[in-house]
Amino acid sequence: MRLLAVVFSVLLTFWLAFPAMAGDFVPGTEDVPVMPGLTPVADSALVFDKPQGRIVEAQFQGRLKRAQIAAFYAETLPQLGWRQTGTDSWQRDDEILHLEFGETDGEVTVGFSLSPR
């Protein structure tokens, strides 16, 4: 029983330390998580994998605040090796990730654009 409690505690600590690993990822990636509370916009995903690098476009929406979403990605993306290069822009190796925000009737839309550098 004590061993089970220790294992549970370690797993819980790991899960809380790495929130990016808890959910789904943007289509075509395994390193750009989707924030809980965001759902995909139908037919918005576009994925190309070519020799120069991958190109990914996708949109998600949810009834969240833009600041919440920005804070989630500011905390989560560095854990996955992304380095912030500007407002809503990230770079890792030879890829650039841009987030674009829009809002309609209290629902925020987040556009993810991933391309070679």
Domain ranges of the chain: 2-116
Residue 56: which H helix or E strand, with range? strand 53-62
Torsion of CA 92, 38, 105, 84, to 10 degrees: -20
**Nearest Cα residue to 56 out of 29, 35, 36:** 29
pLDDT (tens, 9 = 90+) of the chain, 117 residues, equals 655 443 444 343 444 444 434 459 999 999 999 999 999 999 999 999 988 899 999 999 999 999 999 999 999 999 999 999 999 999 999 999 999 999 999 899 999 999 999
Output the pLDDT for position 23.
Answer: 57
Residue 25: which H helix or E strand, with range? none
Q: What is the pTM of this model?
A: 0.78
Nearest 5°: CA angle at 28, between 74 and 62?
Answer: 50
